[in-house]
Structure 1
Amino acid sequence: MSQPPRPSKRRQVRERVLQALYAYEASEDSVDHVLATVIRPTFEGDKTYLRFAERLFLKSADARHEADVLIDRHVENWDLSRIARTDRFVLWIAIAEMLYFPDIPPKVTLNEAVEVARAFGTDKSASFVNGVLDAVLRELRESDRLKKTGRGLVESSNKS
């Protein structure tokens, strides 16, 4: 019997950051403690992914209130406290990527968030996360807050 393919290294980073955010919120430990116990042991042998994991965790934790404001604007008839923790943390990660990682295309962020939500959330998590992130992405584009750079990341203004 063949085994399912292992997730990409970047997906593994996102999954570990999700777990770190959960630990951070549940334990109320310091950011440094969570980095030392959840993030660093997993990626200590690979500096590139360790830096990405640390930065994604720190930006996600730091921007969680800003992310909650964006989320709250795009969930109808839902109080933030009623959103499943896992879904909320996936949204935090994706919004941090949209706002603070100019080299990651929004489409990649959305796809990765949906896959992480599918793996760690409920049956409805993937579609919920996708819907919220579509709306947040639209708002960020319309308000000119989405700053993406690099080949393939900047949408052409000359659409034919």
Structure 2
Amino acid sequence: MSKSKNSGRRAARAQAFQVLYSLSFADISGEEDVRRAFRLFPAPPGPDGDADDAPQTEEGFAWELVHGVWLRNADLDELIGRFSRNWRVDRLGRVERTLLRLALYEMLYRQDVPAKVAINEALELTRQFGEDNAVSFVNGVLDAAARALEDGSLEARDQPPA
């Protein structure tokens, strides 16, 4: 993967996190609300670092993440509960819950993203947006999920058509 693709994906992940985090405060009644929220966020900077002033559209990596995570929130929360010891999902902070959903989605549904990359990117976002002590918690949950993927007790899933 090229460096510009990596930096573009990193910016798209940060954007997806911010959109998904904002949705945790909103009363979302359907997919059109998710699309509207996505369009309101500024596009991530391009490979040259310049922001794109064009209106946001529902295409590209950031949208795929937002849409995929939103569609699978309940399944992702079930997995978070499975891999977080002694923590109920509804007791997690919104930042950590959103970051865990995002990383687990990538690990399970994005065959082009290795689990190690999804974990590293989630940890970077946790350092940027989360509490100081959240990094070890997020790492523990995602590492447990990665081990389950490796030993076959959790299977990656095909991406259904949008």
Q: For residue 33 of structure 1, what is the amino acid of its counterpart?
A: R
Structure 2 equivalent of residue 25 of structure 1? 24
- Counterpart CA distance in 2 for 1:35 and 1:70 is 25
Structure 2 equivalent of residue 63 of structure 1? 72
Structure 2 equivalent of residue 145 of structure 1? 155
Decide which structure has the larger Cα Rg and report it.
Answer: 1
Q: 1:138: how far off?
A: 1.8
Which of these residues, 59, 72, 81, is aligned with residue 72 of structure 1?
A: 81
1:37 is the counterpart of 2:47:
no
- 1:104-157 per-residue CA deviation (whole Å, 9 max, x = no partner) reads 111111100011011100111111111000111222332351369xxxxxxxxx
* Deviant stretches of 4+, over 3 Å: none
Gaps of 5+ in 2: 1-5, 45-51
- Counterpart CA distance in 2 for 1:106 and 1:78 is 22
Taking a change above 3 Å as real, the CA distance of residues 126 and 144 of structure 1, as seen in their structure-2 partners, is: closer
Contact preservation (8 Å) 2:145, 2:154: no
Q: For residue 138 of structure 1, what is the amino acid of its counterpart?
A: R
% same residue: 37
TM-score normalised by structure 1 residue count: 0.78
State the Cα RMSD in Å.
2.4
TM-score normalised by structure 2 residue count: 0.77
Structure 1 equivalent of residue 110 of structure 2? 101
- 1:41-92 per-residue CA deviation (whole Å, 9 max, x = no partner) reads 41566x9xx5111101111111111111111012222121211110110011
Q: For residue 146 of structure 1, what is the amino acid of its counterpart?
A: A
- Counterpart CA distance in 1 for 2:109 and 2:147 is 16
Gaps of 5+ in 1: 1-6, 149-160
Q: 1:28: how far off?
A: 2.1
Structure 1 equivalent of residue 48 of structure 2? none
